Amino acid sequence: MSDVAGLDCRCKRGLRDRLNIVAAAEAHVVWKNRLGSHVHGVSHEPLGAALLGQDGVCQLGGLINGAAFAIFRDMEAFWQLNEAHQKFHQLASVVIEKLNGGDVSGAKTLYENEYSLACHEVIQSLSAINRQLQG
């Protein structure tokens, strides 16, 4: 597996600060919780399935698809992140569509299983990338 070991500590620290990987992970946990509030009938804020389904709309999606993450493209963790992040957004869209269509049970099942797994994979991949930037 390739890493960013060729960078000195100052470059790694600067890159870590610029990317703010921890904030990206936290933002996805917050979104998971917001969606969970819908699934469990606690929240009724409008969430559009079409917008949620677009992985490039959020800050992390912009980083993944932009030049900022180019240094990580040789890493397995980058490709795992890319796939998990796409799934995270696509499944969020399907959960909302199910809720809007009255399939609360289907939405809960999807949210508690595949969607939660995709969120976990996003966090794990971000953690792996963040570890490469330590030191």
pLDDT digits (tens, 9 = 90+) for 76-133: 999 999 999 999 999 999 999 999 999 999 999 999 999 999 999 999 999 998 888 8
Average pLDDT over residues 43-48: 80
Helix residue ranges per DSSP H, 20-134: 21-39, 49-52, 59-65, 76-100, 104-110, 116-132
Residue 13 falls within a domain, yes or no?
A: no
Total structural domains within the chain: 1
Residue 88 falls within a domain, yes or no?
A: yes
End-to-end CA distance of the chain: 18
Query: The whole model's pTM is what?
Result: 0.85
DSSP label at residue 5 = T
% of the chain residues with pLDDT over 70: 87
Per-residue pLDDT, 2 = 46
Residue 5 falls within a domain, yes or no?
A: no
Per-residue pLDDT, 62 = 87
CATH of the domain at 69: 1.20.120
| Residue-number span of the structural domain to which 47 is assigned | 21-132
Average pLDDT over residues 21-29: 91
Residue 11 falls within a domain, yes or no?
A: no
Question: What letter represents residue 115's amino acid?
Answer: Y
Residue 57 has phi, psi (to 5 degrees) of -80, -35
